[in-house]
Amino acid sequence: MEALHKDDRVPYLPPANESGYIPSRPTADLYYRCCTSFYFALGSHIPKPLWRKQMPLLKFYIECWLRETVLMMFGWEIGFRTGWERSPGPKGRNLETLLPPDVWDEYLKTYVGSYYKELWESLTLISNTA
C-alpha cells in the first residue's frame, strides 16, 4: 500500500476494524465501580433534577452518565455470551443485532423526549434492563 506521505514519513496503517471496541472481561473493581456509578446516578443524582424540573441537567445525567454505564454492562453481557469476540460497537451501534429482541425493545423505550412523566417511566425501564 502507498504511504500516506510523499516522503514516507508516516508509517503504514493497517485497515480499520472493530477490535478496539470488543469489551474485555471486567475486573471485580471495574464491575463494582460501574454498578456503584449506575445506582448512585439512578438513586441520587437523577431524581433531584427530575423532581426540580431541571431538564438540561437531567438529560445530561441520563445520556452522559447513566447510559454510559448501561452500555458498559451490555458490552460485558455481549462479551460473555459471545466468548469476548463480538463488539457492541462504538456507543452501542451493534446492540440491536446482539441483544435479545425483548431486551432491545425495552432499551429503545429508554430514549424519550422532554416530558417528565416519560422520563420517570424510562428510568424504571433502565433500572430493570441493566
Cα–Cα distance for residue pair 59/93, rounded to 1 Å: 20
Please give the pLDDT value at position 90.
87
The pTM score is: 0.77
Containing 83, the helix (H) or strand (E) segment is: none
- How do the domains of the chain map onto residue ranges? 45-129
What would the grid cell of residue 93 be? 451501534
Please tell me the total number of residues recorded for the chain in this structure: 130
Q: Could you report the per-residue pLDDT of 29-76, keeping only the tens digit for each?
A: 999 999 999 999 888 899 999 999 999 999 999 998 899 999 999 999
On whether the CB atoms of residues 126 and 110 are closer than 8 A, the answer is: yes
